Amino acid sequence: MQEDWKPISGYEGLYEVSTHGRIKSYHKSEMGEIIRPYLAAGLRYGGKLFLRYLVVDLSSSSLRHSSRHRDHHYGRQYTVHRLVAQTFLEADLFKTDIDHIDGVMTHNCLTNLEFVTRSENILRRNRMKLLLQKAGLSTGPICYLCLTCGYFYFGESLSTCPSSGLLF
C-alpha cells in the first residue's frame, strides 16, 4: 500500500499524518521530520499498568518535539490511531470508537482501523482475549521498536519492520 500524507485538522502547515500511521512535523524543517510516538499509560487491571496506545504531542507553537517535551506535555496529546482515522476515514455519527482490526493497539495503519460503536468495540476486544487464551498465547506480547522510523509492533516474533523493512 502506498503511503499517502494529509494535513492534520487544526494543525495545517505544521503536521501531517500518513496512511501508515506516521506523523510528520514541519516545525524544524520544510521537508518535514517524522515524530517518534510513545506509549501512553493505559488502564490498571489487578494492580498492573498496561501500556496501550501510541501517542504524540502536537503544538501550534514552534516548540521542538523531543523527549524533554514529552515529559512536560507541551501542546496537546493525541493518539496516533485517532489522528489516522479522523483524517482518512469517513466519520459516522453513531460509530465513535476506533477498532484495531487485528487487535494490535500499536498497528495504526489505515487498513487496520475502522469506526465502530462502543458495544462492537467491547465485543471484539473480549473475543480477541478469548482467542488468545485458547491459543495459549500471552496477553502481553513482546514490543518491537524500529529506531529508524519509530514504528512499534507487539507480537510473538518479528524480524523486519513492516514500515521501513529494516531488521529489528
Fold of 5-155: Homing Intron 3 (I-Ppo) Encoded Endonuclease; Chain A (3.90.75)
pTM metric for this prediction: 0.70
Domain-wise residue ranges, the chain: 5-155
In order along its 168 residues, the chain shows pLDDT tens digits of 789 999 999 999 999 999 999 999 998 888 889 998 988 766 544 554 455 788 899 988 754 444 444 444 467 889 999 999 999 999 888 999 999 888 778 889 999 999 999 899 888 887 877 776 777 665 554 455 555 555 555 555 555 556 555 544
Task: Write the DSSP assignment of 93-139 as a string of letters.
Answer: SS--EEEETTS-TT---GGGEEEE-HHHHHHHHHHHHHHHHHTT--S
Phi, psi of 153 (to 5 degrees): -140, 130
